[in-house]
Structure 1
Amino acid sequence: MAIIENGYLRGQIGNLVNRKVGNKNVVQTKPSDKIQQTRWTEAASRDFGTASSAGALIRRAFRPLHMDIHDSGMHNRLQQQMQRVLRGNGKQLQGMLHVQRGNIQRLVDFQFNEKSHLYDYLYFDPKVSFETNGTTSIALPSINAQRNFFIPKNCSHVILKIEVAGFNFRFKNFQTIGSHEMEFPIYSQNGEGTDPQTLIFERQDKHHDSIVVSLSILYITKNGSYTFLLNSEDLNPVGIIAAYNL
């Protein structure tokens, strides 16, 4: 608000400040608190947005595995990991970083639940290989529930879930290429394991720029006709086991 005092205008109207200097009425623009972004900060902001949207895409793609049961910092950890992916193939112009020009393999071993690292609960290593045509092969050894998994209290069955997803990060979309689920009773295998097998997944969409493979372990207990899931925020092993730039 401004007022006229002794013939002079004093006070503020909008972003204009009126004051008396000697016998003159001076009008000035009020300085802005907003700091204008430089082209460098704008470029860094674009790269941050690229990493953030890519991380969100991965979270959505593998929600059937992590089921939103994860530590509170997972979103930030994944965004930071995607920033490392963007910087994984030499220096590039700031503000122009893209996943397909980075190194998606830097995602390998990312844990969706920091409180339960996958390989603290899985006692074998799936062998994943990628072909240039986009075919994904996953070789599994003979598996026995008691020998190859950590078994929590009250658990009667273990479920191993594998999912392969293709991503087009530039257009912010993904497609599930394939999934596989295996259930293992803990006390009825009599020390025997499954036969070794190789899973083959063929992609149909030729527009993917990356393929990512995730694995999770579900713990259940069966009581008559009821099945209870034992996974919780403290026990939900799920992680990325392989990734490939096409």
Structure 2
Amino acid sequence: MAVIDSKGRLHGKIGNVVYRTMGNIKIVQSRPARVRQTLSTKESALEFGLVSNCGRILRSLYSSFSSCSDGRLLNRMNVALLKTLKDTEKPRGERDLHDGNAEHLKGLQFNINSPLTAVLSVRPLCSLVEGGVRVQLPFFKVSTQLQLPRYTKNAVLRLMIVAINFREGYYEYLDYKDISLQYGMVVPEQEWFSEIALPAGSIVLVSASLHCFGMKGIDGEPLSLNGKEYSPAEIIGAYRMAEEVRNEDKPGETIDNETVPKYTSSNRHRLINYRGKEILQEIALKRKRDKKYQERLVRNKISETEENSVINGVNLPLIGKVFYKKE
């Protein structure tokens, strides 16, 4: 229903036509027709929702430096996660991040205003070797090969290993190494080898981040200089660990109809609000409903064709869209 105000202007809607006023301009619009989305469109939207959900969890996991991102980390992370998800032979609606290729997360910058590749002239090289993770750091001079913000008293280059398992619903900080840096310092070539056990079936991420500190605060602790303009952090390694092979001699398996508790690390934290399983179930439900809908359309079409092919009790052959009666 539309209403005429005291100035003779229409407000509201009549049928598909909407009347409204913006300032001194009178606008007449037609409401858009309702569009029926295809199953493919719905699946793509739900799959992107899965990626966004995983991205939110990862940003929370790296909150120590993602809180100082440039504000566009959300888009960059979603793009990398979507590439990870699609890099698999499994079809849409039947895959999650554990099926994809985690290598697409490698090189992800948490702050594009100060990417680690531009701030540090040498590259930390990460590799997955038998028995753990290896990070090699070349020789560099802090004064000439590292860009530090003004008033920096000291800095730390932190290498950190994290494991996350969306299917089992946990994440874990496995190991880290801090390399102290000061202006004028020469950092020798070094190698960090972490022999930490990597959880089977998890996605292992290795990050490198710079944390700079200035003068001390009232509590005696140095004040952080990291912010949206300067907070270099990058994922330098991303690996998908193979699923654990079932073995009746290992904990967590059924032996003589008795379940032995599976060992879990005390450092593991439970994932909160992960919706991956629900989204995959929703896609399966939509496929089931869509299949019934398609079958109903086919049945209706066949029934309508049969009705139109009979005139006065005489069966007529169909030629294109025109009925012809046999003599």
Q: Secondary structure at the match of 2:187?
A: coil
Contact 2:134 2:191 in 1 (8 A): no
Q: Give 1:239's match in structure 2, choosing from 225, 229, 234.
A: 234
1:220 aligns with 2:219: no
Contact 2:149 2:230 in 1 (8 A): no
For 1:232, the aligned partner's letter is: G
Return the offset for 1:119: 0.9
Higher relative contact order (CA 8 A, sep 6+): 1
Contact 1:117 1:239 in 2 (8 A): yes
1:71 aligns with 2:34: no
Return the offset for 1:97: 2.8
Task: Quote the residue 2:200 is aligned against.
Answer: 206
> Hey, which of these two has a bigger chunk of helix by percent?
2
CA distance in 2, matches of 1:83, 1:96: 14
Normalised by the length of structure 1, the TM-score is 0.74
Specify every segment of 5 or more residues in structure 2 that has no aligned partner in the other structure, as ranges.
1-32, 242-327
CA deviations over 1:73-96 (Å, ceiling 9, x no partner): 211221122111112235x42222
CA deviations over 1:131-150 (Å, ceiling 9, x no partner): 366x2111223454224411
Q: Give 1:151's match in structure 2, choosing from 144, 148, 156.
A: 148
Contact 1:42 1:95 in 2 (8 A): no
CA distance in 2, matches of 1:83, 1:226: 40
CA distance in 2, matches of 1:226, 1:100: 41
CA distance in 2, matches of 1:153, 1:39: 54
CA deviations over 1:20-64 (Å, ceiling 9, x no partner): xxxxxxxxxxxxx76554322232123112211221222122222
Contact 1:116 1:237 in 2 (8 A): yes
Contact 2:66 2:110 in 1 (8 A): no
CA distance in 2, matches of 1:204, 1:111: 24
Question: Mapping of 1:43-62 within 5 angstroms?
Answer: 43-62=43-62
Normalised by the length of structure 2, the TM-score is 0.57
Task: Quote the residue 1:93 is aligned against.
Answer: 91
CA distance in 1, matches of 2:117, 2:128: 22
Of structures 1 and 2, the larger Rg is shown by 2
**CA 1:243–1:37: 2 relative to 1, 3 Å:** same
1:80 aligns with 2:75: no
1:168 aligns with 2:170: no
CA RMSD of aligned residues (A): 2.6
CA deviations over 1:120-173 (Å, ceiling 9, x no partner): 11121112111366x211122345422441122221212111111112133443
Contact 2:201 2:240 in 1 (8 A): no
Q: Secondary structure at the match of 1:94?
A: coil
CA distance in 1, matches of 2:139, 2:129: 24
Return the offset for 1:199: 2.9
**CA 1:177–1:34: 2 relative to 1, 3 Å:** farther
Task: Quote the residue 1:139 is aligned against.
Answer: 136
CA distance in 2, matches of 1:123, 1:211: 25
Specify every segment of 5 or more residues in structure 1 that has no aligned partner in the other structure, as ranges.
1-32
CA distance in 2, matches of 1:242, 1:81: 13
Return the offset for 1:114: 1.8
